[in-house]
Structure 1
């Protein structure tokens, strides 16, 4: 065994398994490796044994926790009885005798790692009648928190007579009560007690459901934003199959942990079936929040910002959005393509009209997803100065999704204005060499490309480049088999022609449109809303996900409120 070399901040995984969500509350408990402090389950999958087979660490501490029959307790630890025993995989012993001298020596070394706070001479010999450095008897400052820091010792020390020292100034420490809560404490209390309309509109309690993909996540304190985002993402196959998130995916999708909480106390106003206990995503939160200024804390965060942060960590795919700017004066255009990993679309808000013009209705009209997309891609006028005509009348801005062929055809037909940012990178051919190449009968565009490829060297190098490329292209054209172009609908070709696209480009675009898109068997591809994240009040998130519950034929909306997973029969849009 190697008991040395562990840093002071060495993590000990003593709550749940590092490979799954089996915990110390299970029947067989959890084995914590005494070499690297890895936590491994001892149930059917036995990740603790796999850890020994891979790394050869023989000793482990088995921790098993059971709930006390009496519900009266002040803290969370008072609810449980914890039993421990030492397991040796190399000797195949389930209960190693810890009274041996070697093992007592090892426990002594472990105890030496723990920081022990003791009093010092400055706390034991504290004089409260005057300043310790001068003769001043008034306006004294006494710094004595519950665990004081001795300035002269430069270490944290314990004041065993703290109550007497405070009583010297009339402060009764035993009679003090905390009457106010911090902002973090109030947010955690609200999140832990928040029910978020756990009843339907007719007043009936929503029924908890259980099964694969219906596993809740316990609130760690202001972690509802994390739970809501995770439940929505793991409904997508792209996230279910990621190796980096296999522990979380196994816990949510397997259904092994989606069962009623056996320790729940059913009250008279509670549903017949208690809610599930929920998984504790503490390891996942530490992993994704490590090094981040906000997500590494216990403060409430924005769910959308966390979603973008998670996309960066897992290297999620992106899509292209094309920006088209057209001058309102000279009609010249400019294109720019931006890579995006999310799409923010406006939702039109339309209230129902009322009989009285001075009153507003609380009911909103239905808005379709197509209306939102149309509003997102609609033209808008922006105030810019045109570098081509120097006009300040503005530009028409259009941001559609990038289509390779339609974008190519539009750019062929449009007249582009010069890009002011890239004017320095425009190639300028040698005029003397260019005139000599033109007199030889070569086309001007090919001469310019030859001079750019050869670096404006000389006529001979440019001529050789042209002849080489020309010969290669001619050979490719002769060897290319002739493919008969399919006949296109003349009405569609005419319709594209009315948009300013010539006949040849219109036929090519229609031919490409008939090819099926990648990932879809039919076109156009249609999308369906799968999940929603709702923000209630000032500090709580819940998720609605479209799922098919067990023994059901049709999908329905399921609400994930931390560890509570219920079927949402009705919901307000």
Structure 2
């Protein structure tokens, strides 16, 4: 008790303020939670959550930062008592239960300096310790705070919802005009027509008569769901844009039909609630060819994710990434967990991408969390699933798509995450970035059809986007199978395209062909068949079955380079100015901008198509519209030197004014991304640090250097074996549900495993037929030729 009195009188513990992040959901470095044996320890100094599990992060945190007092925090779910079902549900009322209603909570004060625990609440404890403990218990957890922010859905006004011209309809507002259905009713804001909506997940009835009304009257664009109306909610949908929309002056528009929203009560779930419920509960086929439920599997590399509402796109991508051996080697250390150097590096582990990758590696690969959920009452015991909320918040921070809780495109997220890992140079235990295993070189050949001259351009890539619609359309015209072969998609890609070209040899505009081929083959090939097409600028998913094999041979798609009978076209001096910067063809740039693309996007497209034609650039833009960094400023990489970390002199001066050395201030700022407050906290946590920066890691190579390195490697052939597929079920990539099928070793033999959030089951070959209609991202591993 003496150590507690001493700690209470020191300045190391303090009450959490509204600006403090209080972590209460899981350990900063592992997925140990308050529900696990021993619970978690919440630091009473910095409010980070630690665990005394396998790696004893509580002890390591105490030793590194001299933070000794913790609130031990343990939860046990209360037994659920079945409530009586009322005879008739008059209205839907959504209430969030309190922690006291859901869990039994046990707390204690843990002193790491003496390895002692004290029961809490306890009036004999020093007053300051009691106040801090109460403050932690009352604080909203950081995870909950981020969820609240992320659920603020950004529904926007569309051009159809801006100007709504109304006409009176004297029909009933209580039933569908066409079928008499009395729920799931949609009011046309143009004419007051009442039609039932589409049939919804969870048994919500509907005969789509509101959709039929829009087809009959195409200029009646926007409808509102009557059951969703209240002062705080309203579902408005534009059938022309095929999306949720915001309607200005909705209240006055509704009054035109005699509806006072101020006195209207919400009686049905809105679209967001229905979508979340669907994504959480929507199962892919969970039984085998004999009709029996597939058995869940457990063990190392077989851990599931808890669905956070709309997080299945993220979970499926992470499952496939961490099935790659290089990612496992980079981010999983079964002996030490998160390395000591990382534990002391950052004052906020939740803001460190490398730490979050280590946390995921331990969570997914260790097998510690791949155990049956002992709290569930279901007959089939699946896993509880680890919650990737910290990683999701960090990796999506600042991005308009991935910072929300809405469903996102899995391939867009794959590309975005790979880009983030490369930009941050997050190598883990490797001396190279694990994302390098996806890189390969494509060669584009432009050939003038008049003079036969060719121009070759090599570029670095890390995934293949394959055409699907063209193949499907041709197959149907020829009366062939309704299935598209994956090899047909590669054939279509290889065919290339024709376009008008200003030939530097002919000195006139000619027709030219553009084809691509592999110059090198990656260790792991990421393939994305383009199941999405734009209809009136609205992305629509193609319902096309793609037949694939577990073996893929790509040698026939190798680039043939310049053939003996071909001559290279002369360089066009007009492409560059005196400074060496590229000069864009003004006619091409004007034509592209006239199509509605930004100047920045147009320049990127022209650069990536060798400034050949507006048509080629437009095709490139259509293929790359969803790239996560398409709107980053365009610039050419001109220097091979790595960017040196820098901090402002003003920030250094503000810290040295507190009495700290300039060298120590600079190091603290660099390690904490120039955040002065975090830098000062780091200095207090590391008072004996000498201020010397660690030796910089080997600088990241430029794209040009990586391309040259790949070209210098021996050709290992283009034979591949399928190791994973991310599948999507639903009509739109931005809704529906994602799962992953991955080839794993189960009970000593290779088997396909379905990762459907926390449901992880071994599947037989019959389930793979579902992949044909829902496969979205395919991962192939190179094998010996």
Equivalent residues in 2 for 1:327-476, closer than 5 Å:
327-347=448-468, 364-365=482-483, 367=485, 369=487, 371-402=488-519, 410=563, 414-422=567-575, 424-425=577-578
1:80 is aligned to: 103
Q: Secondary structure at the match of 2:362?
A: helix
Q: Give 1:242 deviation, angstroms.
A: 2.9
Q: Give 1:312 deviation, angstroms.
A: 1.0
Q: Distance in 2 between matches of 1:366 and 1:422?
A: 40
**Equivalent pair of 1:8/1:113 in contact (CA under 8 Å):** no
1:542 is aligned to: 739
Q: Secondary structure at the match of 1:330?
A: coil
Change in Cα spacing, 1:35 to 1:403, as seen in structure 2 (3 Å) is closer
Match of 2:28 among 8, 13, 18: 18
Q: Alignment RMSD, CA only?
A: 3.9
Q: Give 1:332 deviation, angstroms.
A: 1.4
**Equivalent pair of 2:517/2:559 in contact (CA under 8 Å):** no
Q: Distance in 1 between matches of 2:105 and 2:16?
A: 26
Match of 1:291 among 398, 420, 424: 398
Residue 300 in structure 1 maps to residue 407 in structure 2: yes
**Equivalent pair of 2:12/2:67 in contact (CA under 8 Å):** no
Q: Distance in 1 between matches of 2:382 and 2:137?
A: 43
Q: Give 1:82 deviation, angstroms.
A: 0.7
Q: Give 1:30 deviation, angstroms.
A: 0.6
Q: Distance in 1 between matches of 2:123 and 2:53?
A: 24
**Equivalent pair of 1:87/1:93 in contact (CA under 8 Å):** yes
Structure with greater strand percent: 2
1:65-90 Cα shifts (integer Å, max 9, x gaps)? 11223445873733320111111222
Q: Distance in 2 between matches of 1:414 and 1:226?
A: 48
**TM-score between both structures, scaled by the size of structure 2:** 0.48
1:374-419 Cα shifts (integer Å, max 9, x gaps)? 3322343222232331443311111112259987765996231332
1:256 is aligned to: 368
Change in Cα spacing, 1:114 to 1:205, as seen in structure 2 (3 Å) is closer
Q: Secondary structure at the match of 1:383?
A: strand
Q: Give 1:335 deviation, angstroms.
A: 1.8
Residue 274 in structure 1 maps to residue 381 in structure 2: yes
Q: Distance in 1 between matches of 2:137 and 2:30?
A: 31
2:679 is aligned to: none
Match of 1:568 among 738, 763, 767: 763
Q: Give 1:49 deviation, angstroms.
A: 1.2
**Equivalent pair of 2:16/2:132 in contact (CA under 8 Å):** no
Q: How many residues align?
A: 419
Residue 217 in structure 1 maps to residue 305 in structure 2: yes
Change in Cα spacing, 1:113 to 1:18, as seen in structure 2 (3 Å) is closer
1:90 is aligned to: 113
Structure 2 unaligned residues grouped into runs of 5+: 1-10, 84-95, 141-229, 233-259, 332-353, 423-434, 522-557, 581-709, 773-785
Change in Cα spacing, 1:401 to 1:297, as seen in structure 2 (3 Å) is same
Q: Give 1:323 deviation, angstroms.
A: 1.1
Match of 1:179 among 262, 267, 272: 267
- Which has the greater radius of gyration? 1
Q: Give 1:44 deviation, angstroms.
A: 3.4
Change in Cα spacing, 1:409 to 1:560, as seen in structure 2 (3 Å) is same
Structure 1 unaligned residues grouped into runs of 5+: 116-143, 147-170, 268-272, 428-515
**Equivalent pair of 2:316/2:755 in contact (CA under 8 Å):** yes
Q: Which segment is superposed worse, 237-246 or 54-63?
A: 237-246
1:228-278 Cα shifts (integer Å, max 9, x gaps)? 1111111112222334211101111111111111111135xxxxx411111
Match of 1:524 among 714, 717, 722: 717
1:470-504 Cα shifts (integer Å, max 9, x gaps)? xxxxxxxxxxxxxxxxxxxxxxxxxxxxxxxxxxx
Equivalent residues in 2 for 1:303-322, closer than 5 Å:
303-315=410-422, 316-317=435-436, 318-322=439-443
Q: Distance in 1 between matches of 2:136 and 2:28?
A: 25
2:249 is aligned to: none
1:246 is aligned to: 358
Q: Distance in 2 between matches of 1:276 and 1:111?
A: 29
2:128 is aligned to: 103
Q: Give 1:8 deviation, angstroms.
A: 3.4
